[in-house]
Amino acid sequence: MARGRGPGFFGEIAAWALAEVAIEGVRRFQAEAQAAKMAAFERDPLRRLGLEIITSTIGFSAALEVERKIGALARQNPHWWLASGVDPLARVGDVDHVLATGETLVCVETKNVGIEEAAAAQAARAAEALRRLDDRRRQTVPIVCIVASDRVPRLVYTEDGVAVRVTGLDMLQTVIHEAVEGCSGFDPDASPRLARQIYHAQLEEELRSQGFRELARSLSGHGWVCARNVRLHTLSRPISLLTLGPSGIFVIEPRGIDPHQATLAANEGARQLASALVQCSVEVIPVVAGTESDTLAHLRADNGKLAWAVPVNHLAGAAYRAGRPGLAEPELRRIRDPAPQWSYRTWFDEEQEQINWYWSRGERGPTAAG
């Protein structure tokens, strides 16, 4: 005969249930309080900018890990072309990473997390735009890499029936290797428009990396904030390099092979950032970073907008000596430490000759290229 359960047993159950309800209520209250606190911080334009720098850096760090994986594979054939941030001259945004061979175009979109179907649709659109730019119309292979995941590769089909490979970071090289195994080298003469856009992206990235290295090495130790690939929600493309200090705020775009487009991008980024910081008495200056042999002092776009033209190796000096209205140390601190347990720092490792950074609770990001 089963032992009966007395009233004390049910009293314990009721007490446990009430305790669970109370704990859940406390958790909900804490979450709501944290959300309210973050909302208050985000109402401060400088703290909001600091949070945008941190989230952008996390995304860029993921893209950098993907680029290194693809780069290690691309070195198997020196005649394959690899570039990041390739503009397919269509309204689909830049393609995160492109590996071009004689027979195949591999287009990789990077996501930290996300809905696979939406990411696959974006990758398919980018790959199709790139294929239209290719005079040879070679096969395109759209891939989505979910960095914060160890998922095994699988196919996701878009509404148009396009098969997109979705994989985690660990299996990315395997997926790409299957697509390019046995492929010949990329011939730029056979696809001049595509080759131009890939080369443009390569030159932009070279200038961007050199510029970030120069700025972070020279200015971070003086309290300046130096960041790259900063995404503002009002801009369709990220700001390539953003530098903030006592003598001004500088929105820097690499010249690449199209100084006109770089001038437009720098001016638009500066305009949007100035609008976001309208409460602050600062000057936001558009800058185009060129090669060390460039001699122009200014560039003018077709719409009449001007931008400083500065060789990439002189960026830090030009910013430091600009003498424009900038940010005092307390204001810079609000950007570097925008919310409790959220911080952003860069520093130069003299021994390794490389730039490092961290964000959020002291978590270190990967080493910056350059």
Q: What is the mean pLDDT of residues 265-287?
A: 93
State whether 192 and 205 are in the same domain.
no
- For residue 21, what pLDDT band results from cuts at 50, 70 and 90? low
Q: Give the residue from 147, 167, 197 where a domain finishes.
A: 197
State whether 237 and 327 are in the same domain.
yes
> At 332, phi and psi to the nearest 5?
-65, -35
Q: What is the mean pLDDT of residues 341-351?
A: 77
Q: Is the residue at 6 inside a domain?
A: no
Question: Which segment of 173-187, 247-261, 339-353 scores lowest on mean pLDDT?
Answer: 339-353
Q: Is 286 exposed, middle or buried (0-12, 13-18, 19+ CB in 10 A)?
A: buried
The beta-carbon contacts of 213-216 under 8 Å, at least 24 apart in sequence, are 213/355, 213/368, 213/370, 214/312, 214/313, 214/315, 214/316, 215/241, 215/243, 215/315, 215/316, 215/319, 216/346, 216/347, 216/348, 216/355, 216/368
Report the pLDDT value the prediction gives residue 298, as an integer from 0 to 100. Answer: 83
Question: Which segment of 6-15, 124-133, 300-309 scores lowest on mean pLDDT?
Answer: 6-15
Listed in sequence order, the residues at least 6 apart from 164 whose beta carbon sits closer than 8 Å to its beta carbon are 120, 121, 123, 124, 142, 143, 144, 155, 156, 157, 158
Take residue 142 and report the two structure tokens written for it.
């759209």
DSSP of 92-139: T--EEEEEE-SSEEEEEEEESS--HHHHHHHHHHHHHHHHHH-TT--E
Say yes or no to pLDDT of 275 above 80. yes
State whether 246 and 316 are in the same domain.
yes
State whether 356 and 210 are in the same domain.
yes
- Mean of the per-residue pLDDT values for the chain? 85
72 vs 303 pLDDT, higher one:
72
Q: What is the CATH number of the domain that holds 116?
A: 3.40.1350
Q: What is the mean pLDDT of residues 300-305?
A: 80
State whether 192 and 211 are in the same domain.
no
Q: What is the mean pLDDT of residues 204-226?
A: 92
Report the pLDDT value the prediction gives residue 118, as an integer from 0 to 100. Answer: 86
| Residue carrying the six token digits 């098969």 | 163
Report the pLDDT value the prediction gives residue 66, as an integer from 0 to 100. Answer: 92
Q: Give the residue from 197, 214, 244 where a domain finishes.
A: 197
Are 254 and 212 in contact by the 8 Å Cβ rule? The answer is no
Domain of 65 in residue numbering reads as 59-197
Give bridge partners of residue 228 from the DSSP assignment.
Answer: 241
State whether 179 and 226 are in the same domain.
no
State whether 189 and 206 are in the same domain.
no
| Interstrand relation of 306-311 and 284-290 (parallel, antiparallel or unpaired) | parallel
Number of domains in the chain: 2
